[in-house]
């Protein structure tokens, strides 16, 4: 028996971006609040109808059909008092052409084009980089404000301010709903790739779910990445296949994690998806044609080393360490310093790793980051200092929200007590 609320939330997350994109194509950016109202109303109707009656054979198709019907009703209701998208306004206000226009707009190819328009519109240079990411995660990916705050390591109040300012830009009419061309296209692509990267990370590390992996978010990120890969004008931009490679390598390990948190050294590698690993290697090879190495190249190379090792003990830690050193140069970050410290335990020894972690602890940049304390707990445990290890595991638990991760940490803490 399925849980209707969980199912509707899952499908809403997966389909919300499509609905927002195609409805924005119809109503225009200046009516973005009307678009969001229709999408939320569709979500509410799904909850009501599916709770009382049977689940439709094609839930995603059902949601799009209901959104289309509500859009038609809104057009009839608002056509005398509101303007719609510029190139569609006259067509939608005419009794003769409205139905035909709506049927064409909801074709699958048009939905795909509208999603590309939406993601590039959200990443318009008139918006701040922070607002670009927040707006895309909210409108195209169905993130809640709390999830966006978690993904961007900021407060919910800051996220709300960014979203408000971005929507004001939409209402002012200064932003076009279009995919740019020429150099302008590539100037926005970095922001687009960052959004897809953050979407994948939120699914993989799951700050707001009972599952340590939210496959729906990860697969949605990969689908958006493939939209970019399939656009001819974006061919030859190596960051895109590099990001696709990174996502393939991580997704290949889904089944071995059993919808929970299973540490890398404990995973059954026979359950890794070899087809996805091969696909990741193909994307990684395709990404090698550029003139410089990016963070996506290096993170994909690190993930590839993990996937190619037949056993945990066969991992080429020195190579991974060198990749992290290069990554730290082009993307200075306390999280990368943390990962480098963890890898140092395999190349330089436990004491070197502990010293690096304490340096991070002292500067306060990761004061609420549970992996910092979990790593210190693990290394002190391996050194035989169970009392110190226990204190760090317990501290890590206080900053962790994912039940599967808490379960692993509590198991580690119990081992220290024994």
* Residue-wise pLDDT tens digits, 178-213: 888 777 787 788 888 988 898 788 777 765 554 544
Cα–Cα distance, 394 to 383 (Å, whole number): 18
pLDDT for the residue numbered 258? 59
Q: 42 near 70, Cβ under 8 Å? A: yes
- Collect all residues with Cβ–Cβ distance below 8 Å to 375 and sequence separation of at least 6: 338, 341, 342, 353, 357
Residues 6+ apart with CB under 8 A from 103: none
Whole-number Å distance between alpha carbons of 195 and 197: 5
pLDDT at 392: 96
Taking the C-alpha atoms of residue 29 and residue 38, their distance in angstroms, rounded to an integer, is 14
The whole-angstrom separation of Cα 255 and Cα 318 is 27
pLDDT value at residue 262: 64
Q: Give the tens place of pLDDT for each residue, 79-97.
A: 888 988 888 888 888 888 8
Torsion from C-alpha of 185, 186, 191, 195, nearest 10 degrees: 80
Q: What is the pLDDT of residue 1?
A: 47
What is the domain partition of the chain in residue ranges?
Answer: 1-106, 316-418
What pLDDT is attached to residue 347? 94
In terms of phi and psi (left: phi > 0; alpha: psi -120 to 50; beta: otherwise), the region of 385 is beta
Residue whose structure tokens are 């939210």: 214
**What's the start-to-end Cα distance of the chain, in Å?**
40
Tell me how far CA of residue 375 lies from CA of 271, 362, 388, 397, in angstroms.
26, 15, 12, 12
User: pLDDT per position in the chain (418 positions), as tens?
Assistant: 456 777 777 777 778 888 999 999 999 888 888 998 999 899 889 888 888 878 888 888 899 999 999 999 999 998 888 988 888 888 888 888 888 889 888 888 888 888 888 888 888 888 888 888 888 888 877 778 887 887 677 889 999 999 988 888 888 877 888 888 777 787 788 888 988 898 788 777 765 554 544 677 788 789 889 988 988 777 778 999 999 999 999 999 888 775 555 678 888 899 999 999 999 999 999 998 777 899 999 999 999 999 999 999 999 999 999 999 999 999 899 999 999 999 999 999 999 999 999 999 999 889 889 999 999 999 999 999 999 999 999 999 999 877 778 888 999 999 999 8
Topology, domain 316-418? 1.25.40
- pLDDT (0 to 100) of residue 187: 78
Alpha carbons within 13 angstroms on the beta-carbon side of residue 323 total 20
For residues 170 and 363, the answer to whether their CB atoms sit within 8 Å is no
């Amino acid at each position: 028996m399925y849980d209707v609320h969980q199912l509707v939330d899952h499908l809403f997350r997966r389909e919300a971006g499509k609905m927002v994109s195609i409805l924005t194509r119809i109503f225009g950016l200046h009516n973005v609040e009307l678009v969001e109202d229709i999408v939320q109303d569709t979500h509410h109707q799904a909850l009501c109808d599916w709770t009382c009656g049977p689940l439709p054979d094609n839930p995603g198709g059902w949601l799009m059909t209901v959104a289309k019907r509500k859009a038609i009703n809104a057009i009839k209701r608002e056509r005398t008092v509101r303007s719609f998208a510029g190139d569609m306004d006259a067509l939608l206000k005419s009794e003769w052409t409205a139905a035909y226009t709506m049927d064409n707009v909801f074709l699958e190819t048009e939905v795909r084009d509208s999603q590309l328009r939406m993601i590039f519109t959200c990443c318009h240079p008139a918006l701040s980089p922070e607002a670009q990411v927040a707006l895309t995660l909210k409108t195209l990916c169905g993130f809640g404000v709390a999830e966006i705050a978690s993904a961007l390591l900021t407060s919910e109040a800051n996220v709300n301010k960014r979203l408000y300012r971005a929507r004001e830009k939409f209402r002012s009419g200064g932003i076009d709903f279009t995919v740019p061309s020429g150099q302008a296209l590539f100037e926005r692509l970095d922001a687009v790739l960052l959004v897809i990267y953050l979407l994948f990370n939120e699914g993989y590390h799951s700050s707001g779910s009972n599952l340590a992996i939210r496959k729906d978010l990860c697969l949605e990120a990969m689908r958006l990445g493939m939209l970019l890969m399939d656009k001819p004008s974006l061919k030859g931009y190596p960051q895109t296949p590099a990001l696709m490679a990174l996502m393939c390598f991580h997704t290949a390990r889904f089944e071995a994690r059993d919808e929970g948190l299973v540490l890398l050294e404990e995973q059954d590698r026979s359950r890794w998806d070899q087809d996805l690993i091969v696909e990741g290697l193909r994307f990684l090879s395709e990404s090698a044609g550029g003139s410089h190495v990016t963070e996506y190249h290096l993170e994909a190379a690190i993930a590839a080393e993990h996937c190619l090792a037949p056993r945990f003990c066969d991992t080429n830690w020195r190579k991974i360490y060198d990749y992290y050193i290069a990554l730290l140069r082009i993307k200075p970050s306390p999280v990368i310093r943390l990962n480098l410290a963890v890898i140092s335990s395999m190349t330089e020894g436990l004491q070197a790793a502990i010293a690096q972690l304490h340096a991070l602890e002292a500067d306060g940049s990761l004061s609420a980051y549970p992996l910092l304390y979990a790593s210190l707990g693990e290394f002190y445990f391996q050194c035989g200092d169970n009392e110190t290890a226990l204190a760090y595991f317990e501290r890590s638990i206080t900053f962790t929200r994912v039940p599967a991760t808490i379960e692993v940490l509590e198991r580690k803490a119990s081992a220290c007590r024994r």
